[in-house]
Amino acid sequence: MAPSKDRQRKLARAKFDRQMAKRAIRERKRRRVLAGVGAALAVVLVAVGGAWIGGAFDSTDNTKPEAADICLWSPLDASTNSALKEVGTPPTKDLPETGTEAMTVTTNVGGPITAMLDIASAPCAAASFSYLAGKKFFDNTDCHEILDIGAVHCGDPSGSNQGGPTYSYYDENTPVQPQPSASSGTTATTPVLYPKGTVATFGQPAGSNGSQFLIFFKDYAPTTAPIYSIVGQVTGGLDTLAAIGKIPTVADDAGDKVKPKEKITIKSLTVAADTVAADPSASAQS
- A 10 A CB-CB count for 269 gives 24
Per domain, the residue ranges of the chain are: 5-58, 74-176+191-284
The helix/strand/coil state of 51 is helix
* pLDDT at residue 70 in the model: 86
Tens place of pLDDT for every residue, the chain, 286 residues? Answer: 444 555 554 554 455 455 555 544 444 444 444 444 444 444 333 443 444 344 444 444 433 344 468 899 999 999 999 999 999 999 998 899 999 999 999 999 999 999 999 999 999 999 999 999 999 999 999 999 999 999 999 999 999 999 999 999 999 999 998 876 666 555 668 899 999 999 999 998 878 999 999 999 999 999 999 999 999 999 999 999 999 999 999 999 989 999 999 999 999 999 997 544 344 444 444 4
**Between the CA atoms of 135, 270, 139 and 169, what dihedral angle is there, to the nearest 10 degrees?**
60
Instruction: Identify the bridge partners of residue 142 per DSSP, sorted by sequence position.
Output: 265
Omega within 30 of 0 (cis) for the link into 205: yes
The pTM of this model reads 0.72
- Distances, alpha carbon 126 to alpha carbons 13, 73, 197, 257, in Å: 24, 13, 16, 31
CA distance 164 to 180: 38
* pLDDT at residue 132 in the model: 98
CATH 2.60.40.1730 fits 74-176+191-284, yes or no: no
* pLDDT at residue 4 in the model: 54
Phi-psi region of 20 (alpha: psi -120 to 50; beta: other; left: phi over 0): alpha
- Scored b (16 or more CB within 10 A) or e, 73-103 reads beebeeeeeeebbebebbebeebeeeebbbb
Q: Whose CA is closest to 252, among 164, 163, 165, 161?
A: 161
